[in-house]
Amino acid sequence: MTTPNFSEKDTAYMAHAIELAKKGRFTTTPNPNVGCVIVANDMIVGEGFHFKAGEPHAEVHALAMADTKAINATCYVTLEPCSHFGRTPPCAMALTKAGVRRVVIAMVDPNPIVAGRGIAILEEAGILVEIGLLGDQAKALNLGFIKRMQTQTARVTVKMASSLDGKTALKNGLSQWITGPKARIDVQYFRALQSAIVTGSGTVLSDDPSLNVRFSELTQATGFDDQINESELRQPIRIILDSHNKLTLNEKLFNLAGKVVLVTLSPRDDLHSLACIAEVEQIIGKNDGHGRIDLQDLLAQLNRYEINDLWVEAGAKLAGEFFKQQLVDQFILYQAPKLMGDQARNLVNLPNYSKMDEVVQLALKEVTLIGDDIRIISDRD
């Protein structure tokens, strides 16, 4: 491995690989988004991206396109080529067999079963390996995957909608619709990026939501330019926290295709006879000592589903618990130009802090006008 000395052309080719990687953002989980470009004589001779777990990786697609033009070529890849036999053979070995001369890698794979091993295979074959070109942009492609590899828990995003005075519903519970149609379409785009959606039984009983991605709306969302069809779209796992088994099991979400995970404190004996369209599973959560589901234990248990990105759409109580336990990585708030009054319901239930240094501090990342509403994206500080 040499000290990188990247040219403007190197940067342009890696930027193209990053754009290719984004094409898998609605389909690849639990795998990372990866793009690859192969260049010979200052011309792109092969390119590809990873589309879905179990299907060929980005490097394989690019090598197939390049064919013999890969000999002595440079390969630009957004993530270290894999070194192990999983659902597909190792990409590092495929690159060595193809005869590439140089491999430029944006970032090392955080997966402990790779983490430098792919680089070692390339170097042992005499291939020049350079690392770090557009590394921050490459990391941004896979924040959830990186966190899961490093901590065995998903990256958590809490999404909420409120009025300008920070209210989520009227005193009588009415809340549809605080935000406008463009904001609701925008939510579909962010939902489609997630591995799973979490909510509480209270939200399900009051709103009877579908908690899925509506493809017809997704295709209208800003930023959607993919050529995938509805059958290829990955639907997030729907995770419902129902501590006291309040759900009737006749709710709408049980009659929509996809996986539903019920999280309870005591087993439901009626699931075996449940006749519905959804694939329903049950997790018995740990009691936090207050008759609620222990969220940290839940995140650890959910790792069995290889969830990279977890999207929380919940009421003030559950959202507040995620914040209080410092489990939120990102907060997305859609704020409508409305005032709902001091008797309306608050955004998030948090303790009555007595000092300013006790309050939840977030780092503001983005403020965007979406139709008549504002979308605010903040990360945990």
Q: In this structure, how many other beta carbons lie within 10 angstroms of the beta carbon of residue 342? A: 9
Please list, in sequence order, all residues whose beta carbon lies within 8 angstroms of the beta carbon of residue 151, skipping any fewer than 6 positions away.
none
Angle 290-292-293 (CA atoms, 0-180°, nearest 5)? 135
Amino acid making up residue 126:
G
Question: What are the beta bridge partners of residue 363?
Answer: 379
Catalytic-role residue among 47, 59, 251, 313:
59
Name the residue with tokens 């589901």: 293
Report in angstroms the alpha-carbon separations of 374 from 30, 222, 345.
31, 14, 20
Q: Which strand (E) or helix (H) includes residue 216?
A: helix 215-218
- DSSP code of residue 173: S
Q: Is 156 helix (H, G, I), strand (E, B) or coil?
A: strand
Residue length of the chain? 381
Q: Please say if 124 is a catalytic residue.
A: no
* Active site residue ranges: 59
